[in-house]
Amino acid sequence: MIGKILKYMRVQKKLNQIELAQSLNIAQTTLSGYETKYSNPTFEMIEKIANSCDYEIVFRNKKTKEEITTNNIGRKI
């Protein structure tokens, strides 16, 4: 599932794998592995990919609808 999301974000940003991999300082084959579920990225790498593609990670409480992002978590604690 995460691989599909990573690929979607990259495609929406109109980047090919080589361009995004270079901006992240990783090999294109590593990025390809993430997108095809051959390997699993760390949460930190997922966040870097999201940020590079102009997305942010949001955690939403189903009951209260409170949202926490990786950008505002420091202010909540």
Indicate the domain borders of the chain: 2-76
Looking at residue 77, its pLDDT comes to 56
CATH code at 2-76? 1.10.260.40
Q: Biggest alpha carbon distance in the chain?
A: 41
Amino acid at 76: K
CA distance 32 to 38: 8
Looking at residue 74, its pLDDT comes to 64
Looking at residue 47, its pLDDT comes to 95
**Residue ranges in the chain modelled with pLDDT below 50:** none
